[in-house]
Amino acid sequence: MAQVFHRSINWVAKLSILLLLALASLCLAILLNINRLDYVSHVGLAKDQPVPFSHKHHVTGMGIDCRYCHTSVEESAFAGIPPVETCMTCHSLVWTEAPLLEPVRTAWRDEVPLQWTRIHDLPDFVYFRHDIHVAKGVGCTSCHGPVDQMPLMYKENTLNMEWCLECHREPERQIRPRDQVFDVTWSPPADQERAGARLVEEYDVQVSQLTDCSVCHL
């Protein structure tokens, strides 16, 4: 029986297999790295909110401490979204007719909460507590960035697992004195790693356990 395919077709078959393997590797690489793209992680993206709340105005301009609005940050996993009552504590006296604040006044009159859009929203399979990070000397700006300079809130860091692990592997690079946790103007000293290492020991940070899966994934 005559040969149907020319012998050179063998090279075509081998090449097609190599191309399929390369394509599969490329797809796998894209899937593994797609969350690193700012477009996907929404880093730097200010999302629409019911009220264009400016942290820059309230923190830098008015000097309001983080804990005035985020009341549970020191004692629970969730930092807390301020209720309308917190907003109206001031805005029942100032800017009482401002059109931008009408959603706040409406929510107050109707006794319904404002529906804020979450900026920092971790997956449900990630276990995170604000209180333990605050207690161990991790400042707000370490994760949330220069909030005091944000006219509209956006995500400064990806919050991906590899980003979290950078700090968990070397906590001395981020830890600051507890009394500086809420100081948005704090900057690390020249000897941060040495000072941080002392604080790691003082605050009993269990570095050897910080990279265990069970720490964040119960």
Distance CA 186, CA 174 (A): 11
Main-chain phi, psi angles of 139, to 5 degrees: -75, 155
Q: What is the mean pLDDT of residues 199-210?
A: 95
Quote the pLDDT of residue 181: 97
pLDDT bracket for residue 39 (50, 70, 90): confident
Distance CA 146, CA 54 (A): 12
Quote the pLDDT of residue 35: 76
The closest alpha carbon to 53, from 92, 93, 81, belongs to 81
Beta bridge partners of 155: 43
Residues in the chain: 218
Main-chain phi, psi angles of 152, to 5 degrees: -130, 140
pLDDT exceeds 70 at position 114: yes
Q: What's the whole-number average pLDDT of the chain?
A: 92
Quote the pLDDT of residue 1: 56
- List the single range of 29-43, 89-103, 119-133 with lowest mean pLDDT: 29-43
Question: For the whole prediction, is pTM greater than 0.85?
Answer: no
How does pLDDT run across 138-154, given as a tens digit for each residue?
999 999 999 999 999 99
Catalogue the long-range contacts made by 97-100 (C-beta closer than 8 Å, 24 or more residues apart).
100/51, 100/52
Q: What is the mean pLDDT of residues 187-199?
A: 96
User: What percent of the chain clears pLDDT 70, i.e. is strictly above it?
Assistant: 97
pLDDT exceeds 90 at position 6: no
Quote the pLDDT of residue 2: 63
How does pLDDT run across 51-106, given as a tens digit for each residue?
999 999 999 999 999 999 999 999 999 999 999 999 999 999 999 999 999 999 99
Main-chain phi, psi angles of 171, to 5 degrees: -65, -25
Residue 152's CB is within 10 A of a number of other CB atoms, namely: 15
pLDDT bracket for residue 9 (50, 70, 90): confident
Quote the pLDDT of residue 30: 80
